[in-house]
């Protein structure tokens, strides 16, 4: 897993002034706490693109957000296009988010990814992601699935002595997800984070964020 | 035939032959009735049974194709069954059910892991327009029809149909979106492709098992093969273990032998005992 961060000068303003955001849209995005951001300039394609399934993610996030947290997509409706790439990674997307809404966003991304990509994962847990404004959302994984094949437990076999960890096919690796987010704190300072890892890894991040939140309250 | 009878029928998949086209007809009729009566839960239950039919049928067909050594088509059917399971799992727990779905789910993975395929084509696509399979409405940001992909409406699965797209590239990958896009070598000038893959592990397994629901398992074991067998390799060549880009001297030459991957099959009711070269047969202690 990796979670890297770097300083950035990009803020909400930067994105709202992009050519693919009309004056009308700019106004309605002004109050947003979270924006889903496009990437620009893929190969020869000019203009903004979003990773495949962004519309699904957007509808999902919108339906789970508390009323006072506005999420939107940083593009005019007519300009919305999705890019489907090969899937070594499941690309969730890029976001810019106000610090206050960050735990909520990460918690919901975890829930989304678990439902969509990690159904088969052995990990199962329930987590409560709390936000600074007191609202909370429950991240609940599907019922535990056991991967152990009970059909063959009766069989005993001798393992050869010379043995190493068996390699697996790449297409059987647990799916990894990838996303980035720029956090804007109350002073206007911005920091960009990039996450790459499995569901378990993301759970760790969520736990960390919760801890940070808890410390902040004290 | 009543729904309960159909369930019973589907439960007996491992012991008797099922007439799937007959079942499909009945289910289709029953679903139409349920939709007419606006009975959403019943329509959904029927969708689940339809899905079970498809998964069982595809798996059985795949098994037969493997038996007939039609390996690539079997591979595609296994993927179809896998996708069917993926959609079904959202609405139906496959863990404690009588339709052998857990078995099928696990065995697909096992078959896939002994297939020799490693490289696949994967398209890079810009999706410009898509429509909802339930209502036909073109997706518009901030003005969605409200149907959610993967959900069941009136006994039908909601999916996006991409109606306008632009192909921007093709990548060769080890972890593809679609497993059917296996990389084959082109043969000569013509249209045809050659299947040069080595299916000996699958062939070996097929000699051991007879029925689609026979229990078997697989392990992957790394063994060291004597350097004497690789005398033609120079130390500066790519290592003959085929698992790295390193040279022979940087990789396996440091070890007691060349790393080789062995498939180890565990079978409950082995039909014959044939030992192919490069295979280890494990006897079961009963
Ligand atoms: Zn619709
Ligand atoms: Zn080696």
Average pLDDT over chain A, rounded to whole? 77
> Are A92 and A199 within 8 A, CB to CB?
no
Instruction: Tell me: pLDDT of B280 over 60.
Output: no
Higher pLDDT, B266 or A71: A71
> Which is it for strands B120-132 and A82-84: parallel, antiparallel or unpaired?
antiparallel
When pLDDT is averaged across residues B176-203 and rounded to a whole number, the result is 82
pLDDT tens for residues B22-76? 999 999 999 999 999 999 999 999 999 999 999 999 999 999 999 999 999 999 9
Query: Chain B within 8 Å of A59 (Cβ-Cβ)?
Result: yes
- In whole angstroms, what is the distance from residue A20 CA to residue A80 CA? 10
Query: Domain-by-domain residue ranges, chain B?
Result: 3-114, 120-173, 216-275
pLDDT, tens digit, for every residue of B195-245? Answer: 889 898 899 899 888 899 999 988 877 888 888 888 888 999 888 887 778
- Distance (Å, rounded) from C-alpha B257 to C-alpha A76? 61
Give the integer Cα–Cα distance in Å for B205 and B227.
28
Is the pLDDT assigned to residue B185 strictly greater than 60? yes
**Ligand 1 geometric centre to CA of B137 (Å):** 6
Q: Tell me the mean pLDDT in the region A22-27.
A: 96
- Note whether A77 contacts B141, CB cutoff 8 Å: yes
| CA A59 – ligand 1 centroid, Å | 13
Token pair of A1 as six digits: 């897993």
Q: What is the ipTM metric for this complex?
A: 0.79
- Residue-by-residue DSSP string for B125-191: EEEEEEEETTT-PBP-TT------TT-EETTEE--EEEEEEEEEEEEEESS-S-TT-B--EEPSSSS
Contacts of B120 in chain A (CB under 8 A): 171
Best B175, B213, B269, B282 member to test A by mutation, with max A CBs in 10 Å, is B175
3-state DSSP percent of chain B in helix, strand and coil, to 5:
35, 20, 45
Taking CA atoms, B32 is separated from B40, B44, B136, B154, in Å, by: 11, 11, 19, 9
Contact B127 A52 (CB under 8 A): yes
Cβ-contact B66, B74 below 8 angstroms: yes
Q: Residue A168's pLDDT is what? A: 61
Q: Does B174 contact A171 at a Cβ distance shorter than 8 Å?
A: yes
Instruction: Report CB contact under 8 Å: A155, B89.
Output: no
Rounded to whole angstroms, the Cα distance separating A41 from A104 reads: 30
pLDDT single digits (tens) B98-142:
899 999 999 999 999 999 998 898 888 999 999 999 999 999 999
The pLDDT score that the predictor gives to residue A12 is: 94
What whole-number distance in Å separates Cα of residue B258 and Cα of residue B171? 31
Do the chains contact at B266 and A160, CB–CB below 8 Å? no
Q: Do B222 and A155 touch (CB under 8 A)?
A: no
pLDDT of residue A64: 93
Measured between beta carbons, which residues in chain A are less than 8 angstroms from residue B144?
A: 55, 59
Report the pLDDT value the prediction gives residue B188, as an integer from 0 to 100: 65
Write the CB contacts of A51 (distance below 8 Å, at least 6 apart in sequence).
A82, A83, A85, A91, A92, A93
For chain B, the farthest-separated pair of C-alpha atoms sits apart, in whole angstroms, at 75
Helix (H, G, I), strand (E, B) or coil at A192: strand
| Cα–Cα–Cα angle for B256, B117, A83, rounded to 5 degrees | 120
State how far residue A116 is from chain B, nearest Cα, in angstroms.
9
Give the integer Cα–Cα distance in Å for A104 and A134.
Answer: 11
Distance, C-alpha B35 to centroid of its chain: 32
**Contacts with B, A 156-215, CB within 8 Å:** 156-160, 162-164, 166-173
Cα separations in angstroms, A212 against A101, B162, B220: 14, 42, 43
Distance in Å from the first CA to the final CA of chain A: 30
Is the whole-model pTM more than 0.90? no
pLDDT number for residue A93: 95
B220 reaches A (C-beta below 8 A): yes
């Amino acid at each position: 897993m990796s979670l890297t961060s770097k300083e950035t000068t990009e803020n909400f303003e930067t994105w709202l002034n992009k050519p693919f955001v009309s004056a009308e849209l700019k106004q309605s995005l002004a109050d947003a706490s979270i924006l889903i951001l496009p990437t620009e300039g893929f190969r020869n394609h000019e203009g903004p693109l979003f990773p495949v399934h962004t519309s699904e993610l957007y509808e999902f996030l919108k339906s789970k957000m508390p009323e006072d947290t506005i999420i939107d997509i940083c593009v005019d409706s007519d300009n919305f296009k999705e890019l489907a790439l090969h899937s070594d990674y499941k690309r969730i997307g890029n976001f810019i988010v106000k610090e206050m809404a960050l735990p909520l966003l990460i918690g919901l991304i975890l829930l989304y990814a678990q439902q969509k990509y990690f159904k088969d994962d052995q990990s199962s847990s329930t987590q409560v992601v709390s936000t600074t404004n007191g609202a909370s959302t429950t991240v609940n994984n599907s019922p535990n699935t056991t991967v152990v094949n009970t059909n063959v437990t009766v069989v005993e076999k001798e393992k050869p002595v010379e043995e190493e960890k068996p390699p697996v096919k790449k297409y059987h690796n647990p799916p990894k997800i990838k996303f980035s987010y720029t956090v804007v704190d109350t002073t206007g300072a911005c920091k960009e984070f990039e996450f790459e890892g499995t569901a378990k890894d993301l759970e760790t991040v969520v736990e960390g964020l919760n801890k940070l939140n808890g410390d902040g309250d004290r | 035939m009543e729904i309960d009878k159909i369930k019973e029928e589907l439960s007996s998949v491992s012991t008797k032959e099922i007439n799937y086209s007959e079942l499909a007809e009945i289910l289709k009729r029953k679903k139409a009735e349920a939709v007419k009566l606006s009975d959403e839960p019943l329509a959904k239950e029927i969708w689940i049974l339809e899905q079970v039919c498809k998964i069982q049928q595809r798996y059985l067909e795949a098994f037969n194709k493997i038996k007939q050594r039609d390996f690539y088509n079997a591979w595609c059917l296994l993927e179809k069954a896998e996708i069917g399971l993926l959609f079904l799992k959202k609405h139906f727990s496959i863990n404690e059910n009588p339709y052998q779905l857990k078995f099928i789910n696990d065995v697909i993975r096992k078959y896939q892991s002994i297939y020799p395929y490693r490289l696949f084509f994967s398209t890079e696509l810009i999706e410009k327009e898509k429509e909802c399979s339930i209502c036909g409405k073109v997706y518009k940001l901030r003005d969605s029809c409200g149907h959610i992909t993967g959900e069941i409406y009136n006994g039908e699965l909601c999916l996006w149909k991409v109606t306008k797209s632009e192909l921007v590239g093709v990548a060769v990958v080890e972890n593809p979106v679609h497993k059917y896009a296996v990389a084959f070598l082109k043969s000569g000038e013509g249209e045809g492709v050659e299947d040069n893959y080595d299916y000996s592990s699958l062939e070996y397994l097929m000699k051991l098992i007879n029925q689609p629901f026979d229990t078997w398992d697989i392990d992957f074991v790394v063994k060291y093969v004597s350097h004497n067998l690789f005398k033609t390799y120079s130390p500066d060549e790519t290592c003959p273990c085929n698992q790295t880009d390193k040279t022979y001297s940087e990789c396996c030459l440091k070890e007691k032998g060349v790393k080789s991957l062995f498939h180890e099959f565990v079978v409950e009711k082995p039909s014959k005992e044939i030992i192919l070269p490069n295979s280890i047969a494990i006897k079961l202690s009963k």
